[in-house]
Amino acid sequence: METDGKTTKPTRRMFASQAAALAAGWVLTACGPKRLYEAPRAQLKKAIEDMERQYRERLGVNVSVSDAPPIPGVEFAYALDLSRCIGCRRCVYACVKENNQSRDPQIQWIKVLSMEKDKGIDFSAADPYYAPAEVPEEGHFYVPVQCQQCRNSPCTKVCPTGATWTEKDGIVVIDYDWCIGCRYCMAACPYGARHFNWAEPEIPKAEINPNTHYLGNRPRPKGVVEKCTFCIQRTRAGRYPACVEICPVGTRKFGNLLDKDSEIRYIIEHKRVLVLKEELNTAPRFFYFYAT
Amino acid sequence: MRLAILILLGIAASGAASDPKAPFAPAASAERPAGERLDVPAPPFSEGIFPCSNCHASMPVNRTRRTLTDMHTDIVLKHDEAHRWCLDCHDATNRDFLHLASGERVAFTESYLLCGQCHGEKLRDWRAGVHGRRTGNWNGTKGYLLCVHCHSPHQPRFRALAPLPAPARPARPGD
């Protein structure tokens, strides 16, 4: 330190405070927050460029990764008409294709449960492996289950690293780079909606969907958890999720809960609506209803 | 007092007299498609069948209810067939149109108006975006389909489909 042309030795206090300030500065800039949740915009842009470059090198596909933020004034919700679903599983495979789910080992975000009309909604008597020649089967109805995007989500509460959270538009997302694969969230989810990559995911190169979102369908590594994101890459661009568009019987409905003219609001106001496992107080944004 | 009752009766009578005509015109025009919502694709005609007047223009109209033997034998009516036949929906005077129970002509591109005469609650839900398949944008132009894109008008029950493969059962050690 220089005062009046003389050098004085730094005091212990000065050294300690300046070293602390330097360390803090280094932490905040160089190795700063890496979670995508809290990354500043510029850092996010850079992280996404890195992702795109890595995908190009690793997969040989030009994957574009979107960083579209939540749209202000939008809270997504979903409704599924139990009186119409015929259990054809078109949604399951449209979802697999759109969201780059591993074909082997098989990961499917949507599970369609076949239930008996006599028993009603009874998960202990539900069969996901039904395979008749034609659906619907006599005396059966079908309950497709995927992430319920809970308002009171048990999965985000148990994550020890903060790698999963609820976005402002109501979508529960996962930061695949921050997930340590402990699978606490899978144990916490009462809907079986989260899936683990036990092995390196395999997708034929020609079938990779290159339109991705950093919190959604970008290709995942081995050892992380993944789940339905309401097709975040589509819905934040104004489109319907892939499962809504493919459904041949129009059983799947999607929209903005905060828009009083949306389909979702019409359904909630006019139809008989229920949520799965209501007693657990998870408060899903995924509603089931009977249109007739 | 008596005068008042007479006047009231008179008003009621005149109201009743003008009623039958009044609701028709405005109601029909209000139901006409307006805006993006009812922008529907062309109806799924069998190839070469439309316009119907190509063949029917030169044919005399036979309004007797009968089983068709020369043409359209592939059409099997399973849609309240005990009470209905072709000319209850198809217009006999202009073959390229359908008609409502009122006799009002309806184009094939607006056939949902015809279906909605009986299935009013479905038409209401469809307009709201709740009945039927949706494509496009949740906050923009929504893709609608006509009733007949999914339900054959002659056999409207939705056909059974072959399901896609069941998920793989989880592997267990020792399997």
Overall domain count for chain A: 1
Given 3-state DSSP classes, what are the helix, strand and coil percentages for chain A, each rounded to the nearest 5?
30, 20, 55
Range B93-115 average pLDDT: 93
Helix (H) or strand (E) holding A48: helix A41-59
pLDDT score recorded for residue A228: 97
pLDDT at B135 over 80: yes
Partnered with residue A5 across adjacent β-strands are none
Interface A–B counts its CB contacts (< 8 A) at: 95
Chain B from 36 to 55: CB within 8 A of any A CB: none
Search chain B and give the residue with CA nearest A109.
B167
Say if strands A6-7 and A2-3 run parallel, antiparallel, or are unpaired.
Answer: antiparallel
CB–CB of A93 and B130 under 8 A? Answer: no
Confidence at residue B172, expressed as pLDDT on a 0 to 100 scale: 77
Q: ipTM, 2 decimals?
A: 0.84
pLDDT by residue for chain A (292 residues), tens only, comes to 555 666 778 888 888 999 998 888 776 665 555 688 888 888 899 999 999 999 999 999 999 999 999 999 999 999 999 999 999 999 999 999 999 999 999 999 999 999 999 999 999 999 999 999 999 999 999 999 999 999 999 999 999 999 999 999 999 999 999 999 999 999 999 999 999 999 999 999 999 999 999 999 999 999 999 999 999 999 999 999 999 999 999 999 999 999 999 999 999 999 999 999 999 999 999 999 999 8
* B137–A239 C-beta distance less than 8 A: yes
Q: DSSP secondary structure string, A57-91? A: HHHSS--EEE-PPPPTT--EEEEEETTT-----HH
Q: Which amino acid is at A195?
A: H
Which residues have C-beta within 8 Å of that of residue A260, sequence separation ≥ 6?
none
- A233: CB partners within 8 A, 6+ apart: A66, A68, A211, A212, A213, A216, A217
Contact state of A132 with B139 under an 8 Å Cβ cutoff: no
The CB-side HSE value for A57 (13 A sphere, CA atoms) comes to: 6
SS (H, E, C) chain B: CHHHHHHHHHHHHHHHHHCCCCCHHHHHHHHCCCCHHHCCCCCCCCCCCCCCHHHHCCCCCCCCCCCCCCCCCCCCCCCCCCCCCHHHCECCCCCCEEECCCCCEEEHHHHHHHHCCCCHHHHHHHHCCCCCCCEEECCCCEECCCHHHHCCCCCCCCCCECCCCCCCCCCCCCC
DSSP-assigned letter for residue A174: E
**CA A179 to each of CA A108, A221, B90: distance values in angstroms, whole numbers, following the listed order:** 19, 10, 62
The pLDDT of residue B38: 64
For residue A172, give the CATH number of its domain. Answer: 3.30.70.20
| A260 chain-B contacts, CB cut-off 8 A | none
pLDDT at B30: 41
- Residue B151: predicted pLDDT: 94
Summarize pLDDT for B32-84 with one digit per residue, the tens: 444 434 678 888 998 888 899 998 988 899 999 888 888 898 899 999 999 99
Structure tokens at A178: 């921050």
How high is the pLDDT of residue A24?
81
**A184-208: b or e for each residue (b if 16 or more CB lie within 10 Å)?**
bbbeebbbebbbbbeeebebeeeeb
Identify the pLDDT of residue A9.
80
Structural tokens at position A14: 């000065």
pLDDT of residue B108: 93
User: Could you tell me if B20 lies within 8 Å of chain A, comparing CB atoms?
Assistant: no
pLDDT, residue A27, reads 67
Using a CB–CB cutoff of 8 Å, tell me whether B35 touches chain A: no
Q: Which residue has the higher pLDDT, B25 or A53?
A: A53
Handedness of CA A42, A48, A52, A54 (dihedral sign): positive
Give the CA distances from residue B171 to residues A107, A110, A201, in Å, rounded to whole numbers and listed in that order: 13, 19, 17
Residue A227: domain span: 76-290
Confidence of residue B24 (pLDDT cuts 50, 70, 90): very low
**Count of other CB atoms within 10 angstroms of residue A85:** 21
Task: Label residues A214-240 b or e (16+ Cβ within 10 Å = b).
Answer: bbbbbbbeeebbbbbbbbbbbbbeebb
A15 part of a folded domain = no
Residue B164: pLDDT band with limits 50, 70, 90: very high
Contact A134 B161 (CB under 8 A): yes
Q: What is the mean pLDDT of residues B17-32?
A: 39
Chain B neighbors of A245, CB-CB under 8 A:
133-135
List the one residue out of B158, B161, B159, B146 whose CA is nearest residue B45: B146
